[in-house]
Structure 1
Amino acid sequence: MRYYAGLDWGESHHDVAVVDEQGQLITHLRVTDDVHGLAQLLAALAAVRRNRSSIPIGIETGRGLMVAGLRKAGQPVVVLNPTQVANYRSRLAAQRKKSDRGDAHLLAHVLRVDGDAHRPAPAVSPQAAALRELTRTHRQALHTAGLLARRLRSVLRDYYPGAATAWAHLPGGLTRPEARTVLTAAPNPTRAARLTHRRLETLLTASGRTRLITAEASRLHELFHTRTLRQPAEVETAMGHTTTALLTQLNAAIASAHTLWTQIDNLAEQHPHTAIYRSFPGMGPLLAARLLAELGDDPQRFPTARNLRAFCAATPITWASGTSHKVSHRRKANPILAETGHLWAFATLTRSPGARALYDRRRATGDRHPAALRRIYARLLGSLHHCLRAGILYDEDLAFPAPPDSAAENGT
């Protein structure tokens, strides 16, 4: 007799249900989200079957202390997609209804009926799990900084057009250190007009700039002294305070991202898979850390390269029904992997002759730019899967072998 469990997660308590092969409810309990609740849950599972590790637990989240406690205790945890779980409700009752007790029973029922379609959570090492937490927080900090920079630009355009365009042509724009330093010293046009050429040079030096300081100071001095439309003095002062507040938040977000990146770099350097990831063309330290964090280091997670490509949304999906046949890329996927794959494939165009040749061939056959990049991403993932399995570094000649006609021309 096999048994299946479902855990409906809550902030303070969790409902747990265990069913047998026929779907009969064996036990139900409500446990608290603490050490005592975990002990009570493990004891209840052991009462159902002495070898409790043979009872998988379905849950709709892979995070939290209870999940960490279950995995540490050796209990198999299966993370179920909430959207898929919601589609199962109509299979149990014609009238859709919801309760904590019912949801726990539903999760156990999903594993009983379609358990072979859902795999247990991967056995990721603590180092890889820590790296995933840091890279996701770092990505969020970068997105927050970008959002604040766009809000700052929007505010500046309404009263301070010179500052809004002063660094628009430079990489980073308003997130550049000199931009933030100058705006902190002169958050409104009145104070900017008082900045002397010498004062601008001092601010640029303080921001860390080391090249063309005199020329840049002259450019800013001329820009800030150009006549433009102005807001009333009171409004201009108030909007200057808004700019100062946004700059404070922007500086904090950028500083947090920098601190997190230092920790990410140190942690990634210690992982044995980092050397393999970074051996690939176009794979910088940040992309390597993000990809390693999202894929994890469980050697059994992706049995084949096809599984890895599908998980990373690098392979298309086909919708075929009758005379209808449509092939499209996977839209419902891990957004971090999709973003990382696009950047990685684009970076290889100037660093891998084989990737560039593949891109040109796909474009010649009619693929659009994103579709051609996904082809490169899929090819690189196949090579990555092989390198991780074999424990070897990337080899351009093996990843993108020369066509037979080219080899014959070269006399090889």
Structure 2
Amino acid sequence: MKVYSVDNFAALIGIDWADKKHDICEHPNPSEKYYYSIIKNKPEALHEWAMSLKQRYPNQKVAVVCELKKGPLIYALAKYDHLVLFTINPSIVAKYRKAFTPSGAKDDPSDALIQVEILTLHMQKLNVIEPESAAMRSLSQLVEYRRSLVQDSVNLSNKITATLKNHYPQALEWFKEKDTFIFCDFISKWPCLARVKRAKKQTLLDFFNSHNSHYAHVNEARILSIKNAMSLTDDLGVIEPNQQLIEVLIAQFKVLLKGIETLDKAIKKAYKAQGDKVIFDSLPGAGPQLAPRLLVAFGNNRNRYNDASELQKYAGIAPVIERSGKKMWTHWRYSCPTFLRQTFVEWAGFSIRYSFWAKAYYEQQKSKGKPHNSIIRSLAFKWIRIVFKCWKTNTPYDESKYLEALKRRGSPLLKFALNG
């Protein structure tokens, strides 16, 4: 990653962004003057402002710092070659303000000035926003949007479960998986027990077969359970409002499931076009959902990280060690991209089922009394170092080669696995 200094720029600019307008603090280099302005949060206004900088500082770079890593403002400014975008954590600005403004007063123009001051003094410690290729940025947003929709479907599934328990709990026993179209279509067709009990056996069989549920013993068990089911309550004051609510929730759930299917197809197509696909397909337990997310986590700019530790820290996987006097303690890294950390942690959990050494490591740490979540985070820490080397050298992961390397080093992990 390229390291910048203040001397590389004709001007340093801080932007305190907002929904309607942005407060600007502009500091021409090397003068001691600061100019304040306000621009509207509109594409035309942002373009006019960016081009005015190019005219005032011809053939020179301008450093812009903002409390954002993505979003409309970043998307709008990233297309200008003469702007170098730096990102700063909002908590840093808040603590800086608190240090020099004991009253706690907050003002947008002064926050823009604070960002310029931090950029001037600590530019080398701030992250530069270096956009990946358009294809990678598209894939990045697709996988993040998919994960968000999956979480929405989980929340909605919980509401559906709670509603069915109020008047129609048997449906939850007939279908173990709720995020399926057969479940949604069944509830839509028969939203209460009274209706489904009136259905003929052949009607039910036709329904199951039309949804590719061809296991005769499963369908027979469902039909028998339907005919023998006893209603939880006959109170229409309970049944009718819950039935109406479940119909609304199921309609929303079907839209979500179809949306996730659509994104899955788009992700599959975008991922297939990536040259590094072969590396991430080789990772144990990654699969069709996590492999694209892992590819996005690393990106295609191999100069972005100098070593694996930079990614471990950035992703929030590396623990933070604090010392005070004779005391020392380790804690969770609080500031990091949540989705990125979630990606590595989720994959590390899945890898235990598919990787011999990962499972051995998990069992080894478990035997020492370590909690599950701590073990998974430690495993993710190890995996990042391994995958980083594969990524840097354009080499697919090979479990047998890694086990051979552990054997050559006399790793106690293998001894534990063999003795266990």
**Structure 1 contact 155–239 (Cα < 8 Å) conserved:** yes
Shift of 1:76: 0.8
Alignment equivalent of 2:152, drawn from 132, 135, 144: 144
1:286-310 deviation digits (Å, cap 9, x = unpaired): 1011222344322222111111111
- Any idea what SS the aligned residue of 1:190 has? helix
Which letter maps to 1:321? S
CA-based RMSD: 2.6
Greater Cα offset, 399-408 or 348-357: 399-408
- Report the 3-state secondary structure (helix = DSSP H, G, I; strand = E; otherwise coil) of the residue aligned with 2:65: strand
Q: Residues 160 and 246 of structure 2 are in contact (CA less than 8 Å); yes or no, is this contact kept in structure 1? A: yes
The TM-score with structure 1 as length reference comes to 0.89
Contiguous gaps of at least 5 residues in structure 1: none
- Pair 1:68-2:78 in alignment: no
Q: Secondary structure at the match of 1:14?
A: strand
Distance apart, 1:245 and its partner CA: 0.8
- Identify the match of residue 336 of structure 1 among 312, 335, 339: 339
> Could you say which residue in structure 2 is the equivalent of 1:179?
183
* Deviation (angstroms), 1:181: 1.9
Q: Please, which of 289, 308, 313 is the counterpart of residue 310 of structure 1?
A: 313
1:71 maps to a residue whose letter is A
Alignment of 1:64-143 (within 5 A): 64-74=71-81, 75-143=83-151
8 Å contact kept, 2:323–2:329: yes
> Is the 1:58–1:108 Cα contact (8 Å) retained in structure 2?
yes
Gap change, CA 1:346 and 1:380, over 3 Å in 2:
same
**2-side partners of 1:277 and 1:185: how far apart?**
42
Q: Is 1:158 paired with 2:156?
A: no
Deviation string 1:319-343 (CA, Å, 9 cap, x unpaired) is: 1111221123334433323332232
Which moved further from structure 2: 310-319 or 32-41?
A: 32-41
In the alignment, does 2:362 pair up with 1:359? yes
Task: Give the structure 2 partner of residue 256 of structure 1.
Answer: 259
Secondary structure, counterpart of 1:319 in structure 2: strand
Preserved CA contact (<8 Å) 1:17 1:25 = no
State the distance in 1 between where 2:257 and 2:344 align: 24
**How far apart are 1:150 and its partner, in Å?**
0.8
Question: Who is 1:246 aligned against?
Answer: 249
CA offsets 1:20-66 (integer angstroms, 9 cap, x no match): 5789443222223344423432344346643442x311111233343
C-alpha distance in 2 between matches for 1:406 and 1:85: 45
Distance 2:28 2:321 in 1: 36
Quote how far apart the aligned CAs of 1:160 are: 1.1
What SS does the corresponding residue of 2:27 show, helix, strand or coil? strand
Would you say how many aligned residue pairs link Structure 1 and Structure 2?
404
SS class of match (1:315): coil
**Distance in 1 separating the partners of 2:375 and 2:285:** 16
Distance 1:339 1:198 in 2: 46
Deviation readout 1:242-261 (Å, 9 max, x if unpaired): 11111100101111011111
CA contact (8 A) 2:181 2:254 kept: no
Q: Say if 2:46 is the partner of 1:38.
A: yes
For residue 6 of structure 1, the aligned residue among 5, 8, 14 is: 14
Taking the aligned partners of 2:29 and 2:355, their CA distance within structure 1 comes to 53
More displaced stretch, 72-81 vs 391-400: 391-400
**TM norm structure 2:** 0.88
Q: Percent identity, aligned pairs only?
A: 20
